[in-house]
């Protein structure tokens, strides 16, 4: 207990208060996202996230997108543990040779009307790892990708906006 108090005294306040302007883009985008998802799926969007061997930065941003600031779940996006409960696969990292079979099995286990979303530059073309001996390239070489969210890594608001744009285009069809 004394160590905690010492650290608090020496470090001071390490959290920061977010300005209300920070939230002005999140709430309207999230509400529209929820409306479009209900229209397309009739319920929440269930996503199974698959990491193909990334550096972990994209995973960190996905985790951030689920924190209390962005809270994707309140907008109707939930991450599920099994591909059998998923509407979509969210794939991060390059297409590695040792994960290719696991990715294809996960895709096969996902119920029909499924789609694939890739997240980050590595998932697009192998990114920083593309010239490595164990990387085959981008995820689109193994699975049909409907949406790619670019960035290294993409921020949570970028993830929300790309999902929103995708659902907007889909609702116009």
Task: Go through the domains of the chain in sequence order and give each one's CATH number.
Answer: 46-163 (3.40.50.12280)
Indicate whether 4 pLDDT > 90: no
Q: How many CB atoms lie within 10 A of CB 52?
A: 23
Residue 12 has pLDDT above 80, yes or no: no
Q: Encode pLDDT of 94-120 as tens digits.
A: 999 999 999 999 999 999 989 999 999
Contact 61, 162 (CB under 8 A): no
For range 147-159, the mean pLDDT: 93
Per-residue pLDDT tens over the stretch 17-67:
767 776 787 888 888 989 998 888 888 899 999 999 888 999 999 999 998
Distance CA 124, CA 164 (A): 20
Which residues, 6+ apart, have CB-to-CB distance to 140 below 8 Å?
118, 124
- pLDDT score, position 137: 87
Residue 159: pLDDT band (50, 70, 90) is: very high
Distance CA 61, CA 67 (A): 10
More confident residue, 6 or 149: 149
To 5 degrees, how large is the angle CA 47–CA 65–CA 81? Answer: 30
What does the pLDDT read at residue 113? 87
Residues 119, 78: contact at Cβ < 8 Å?
Answer: no
Q: Is the pLDDT of residue 80 over 90?
A: yes
For position 171, what pLDDT does the model report?
63
Q: What is the mean pLDDT of the chain?
A: 89
Does 15 score more than 90 pLDDT?
no
CB-CB contact of 92 with 57 (8 Å) = no
User: Tell me, what's the pLDDT at 69?
Assistant: 85
Instruction: State the number of CA atoms in the 13 A half-sphere of 80 facing the CB.
Output: 17
* pLDDT for the residue 169: 87
Q: Is the pLDDT of residue 76 over 80?
A: yes
């Amino acid at each position: 207990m004394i160590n905690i108090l010492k650290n608090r005294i020496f470090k001071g306040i390490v959290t920061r208060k977010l300005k209300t302007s920070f939230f002005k883009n999140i709430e309207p985008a999230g509400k529209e996202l929820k409306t479009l998802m209900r229209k397309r799926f009739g319920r929440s969007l269930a996503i199974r996230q698959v990491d193909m061997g990334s550096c972990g930065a994209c995973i960190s941003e996905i985790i951030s997108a689920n924190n209390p600031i962005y809270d994707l779940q309140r907008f109707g996006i939930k991450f599920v543990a099994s591909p059998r409960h998923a509407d979509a696969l969210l794939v991060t990292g390059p297409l590695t040779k040792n994960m290719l079979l696991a990715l294809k099995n996960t895709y096969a286990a996902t119920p029909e009307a499924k789609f694939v979303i890739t997240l980050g530059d590595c998932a697009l073309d192998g990114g920083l790892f593309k010239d490595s001996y164990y990387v085959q390239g981008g995820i689109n070489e193994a699975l049909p990708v409907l949406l790619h969210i670019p960035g290294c890594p993409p921020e949570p608001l970028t993830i929300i906006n790309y999902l929103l744009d995708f659902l907007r285009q889909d609702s116009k069809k």
